Amino acid sequence: MTTASTMIELQDVHKSYGHLEVLRGIDLQVTKSEVVVVIGPSGSGKSTMLRCLNALEPIQRGTILIEGIDITDSKTNVNRVREKIGMVFQSFNLFPHKTALENIMLAPHKVKKQPHGEVQKIAYDLLVKVGLSEKADCYPDQLSGGQQQRVAIARALAMQPDMMLFDEVTSALDPELVAEVLNVMKDLALGGMTMVVVTHEMGFAREVGTRMIFMDEGVIVEESHPREMIANPREERTKKFLGMVL
Partner 1 sequence: MESLLNGFEAFQRYYLNWQIIQETFPLLLRTLPIVGQLLVFSMFFSFVLGLVLSLMRLSRLRAFRWFAGAYVDFFRGLPLLLNFVFVYSGLAIVGAASGLRFLILPSIIAAVLSLSTTYAAYSAEVFRAGIESIHRGQMEAARSLGMTYAQSMRYVVLPQAIKIVIPPLTNEFIALIKDTSLASVISVQELLFTAKEKMGVVANPTPLMVAAFVYVIFTIPLIRLAARLEKKQERGSKGGRPTGGDTTSALIPADIAAQLPKGGGPLPL
Q: Return residues touching partner 1 (CB under 8 A).
A: 17-18, 20, 22, 42-44, 47-48, 51, 54-56, 79-80, 82-83, 85-87, 89-97, 106-107, 110-111, 140-141, 145, 148, 152, 155-156, 159, 167, 172
Q: CB of 70: closest distance to partner 1 in angstroms?
A: 18
Dist CA 186 CA 180 (whole Å): 10
Measured from the CB atom, the residue of 104 and 230 that comes closer to partner 1 is 104
The three-state secondary structure class of 246 is coil
Q: Smallest distance from the beta carbon of 161 to partner 1, in angstroms?
A: 9
The pair phi, psi for residue 178, each rounded to 5°, is -65, -40
For residue 90, the minimal CB distance to partner 1 (Å) is 5
Between residues 43 and 115, which has the closer beta carbon with respect to partner 1? 43
C-beta closer to partner 1: residue 98 or 239 = 98
Compute the distance between CA of residue 158 and CA of residue 35 in angstroms, rounded to an integer.
20
HSE-CB for 34 with a 13 A CA cutoff: 20
Calpha distance 92→89 (Å, rounded): 5
CB 79 within 8 A of CB 159: no
CB of 95 to partner 1, least distance (A): 5
209 dihedral zone (left: phi>0; alpha: psi -120 to 50; beta): beta
Q: Which of 38, 30, 65 shows the shortest CA–CA distance to 219? A: 38
Say how far apart CA 233 and CA 202 lie, in whole Å. 14
Whichever of 111 and 128 has its CB closer to partner 1, that residue is: 111
The least distance separating partner 1 from the CB of residue 10, rounded to whole angstroms, comes to 18
- Could you give the C-alpha distances from 181 to 36, 144, 149, 202, 232, in angstroms and in order? 17, 12, 7, 15, 28
Give the residue with the Cβ less far from partner 1, 10 or 230: 10
Question: In terms of CB distance, is 181 or 230 closer to partner 1?
Answer: 181
| Residue 215 beta carbon to partner 1: minimum distance, rounded to whole angstroms | 12
